[in-house]
Amino acid sequence: MSTETTGRREFEFTLPVGYTDDEGIVHREVVLRKMTGREEAILADRKYQRNGGKLVTELLHNCIVRLGALTANGRGPVTTMTSADRNFLLLKLRSITFGSELEAAYACPACGERVQVAEDLDELPVHELPDGDDRGEIAIELEDGWVDREGQTHTALRLRLPTGADEEAVAPQMRENASVGKNALLSRCIISLGDVPAHRLEGMGPRIMSELTMSDRRLIDRGLNDGAPGVDLVRALECPSCGKQFSASLDMSNFLAMA
Ligand SMILES: [Zn+2]
């Protein structure tokens, strides 16, 4: 686990969720190697800059030396892995390659002051999914719910955890409009919503998420942040200039490039 030993290139970590193979076996131990010039080229490649999901898949596929007891690792496991595990590995990749310290900047919501914080990526809390759990399904009770054509209101929402495949699929929409991208992502992850039949859910696609009230959408955000496994990126901050206490999410969009 230690990243202090100099001269080491490979490091072992335990995934917060774990990769479930075709036979249902869960693999949680991962050996990662430091990024090299090869990954620097991937980071600079325009093809990947257009699709953040594919970029992460490519980086992790390259740098995972071993995943559990699997003999070979194609892109498959990295694509079907949950975003929680992928983000965890991405943070570790940054940490073993450049060190765990990260200068992060947050904007104070009260006075607009730029708040600079030296974060330690290895100190971020990680919520691990207990062994034998239902693989991180998230249940959210909506307040306003979704009203179908017959006027019936559906409030019990069940989501599965987003995966690399979801990230790759919605990356183009995400680039255009983060809110539209999020609708596309979440609609892919709906397991059920009240008694709405599965074919109807599929037919509705992202529209179902865009028709929810903003307060329900906030409930979903909270459910995903609080209940979901993975690295907790929500930071509690205090503005040094006006004293306002606020919380903000650690921005991971460009952190790999910063040495
Ligand atoms: Zn302030």
Cα 173 to averaged position of ligand 1 atoms, centre (Å): 33
Residue 140 has pLDDT above 70, yes or no: yes
Closest CA to 95 of 32, 53, 30: 32
pLDDT in tens, 148-196: 989 999 999 999 999 999 999 999 998 899 889 999 999 999 999 999 9
User: Could you list which residues have their CB under 5 Å from ion ligand 1?
Assistant: 108, 110-111, 113, 239, 241-242, 244
Cβ proximity of 205 and 179 under 8 Å: no
Give the CA-trace dihedral at 64, 70, 73, 78, to 10 degrees: -70
Cα(250) to ligand 1 centroid in Å equals 18
For helices 83-98 and 52-63, angle between their N-to-C axes, nearest 10 degrees: 60
Q: How many CA atoms lie within 13 A of 74 on its CB side?
A: 3
Q: Does the pLDDT value for residue 2 go beyond 80?
A: no
Report residue 210's pLDDT band, with 50, 70 and 90 as the boundaries: very high
Of 124, 166, 117, 146, nearest to 212 (Cα)?
146
Task: Supply the pLDDT for residue 244.
Answer: 95
Determine the distance separating the centroid of ligand 1 and the alpha carbon of 87, expressed in angstroms: 29
CA of 20 to the centre of ligand 1 (A): 45
Q: How much distance in Å is there from the Cα of 233 to the middle of ligand 1?
A: 21
User: Ligand 1: distance of its center to the CA of 76 in Å?
Assistant: 45
Q: How far is the CA of 95 from the centre of ligand 1 (A)?
A: 30
Q: How far is the CA of 117 from the centre of ligand 1 (A)?
A: 14
C-alpha of residue 244 to centroid of ligand 1, in Å? 5
Which burial class, exposed, middle or buried, applies to 253 when counting CB atoms under 10 A from its CB (0-12, 13-18, 19+)? exposed
Centre of ligand 1 to C-alpha 238, Å, is: 8
pLDDT at 254: 65
Ligand 1 center to 192 CA (angstroms): 41
Render pLDDT for 219-244 as a digit per residue (tens, 0 to 9).
Answer: 998 888 777 899 988 899 999 999 99
Write down the mean pLDDT value for the chain: 89
State pLDDT tens for residues 63-94.
999 999 887 767 889 999 999 999 999 999 99
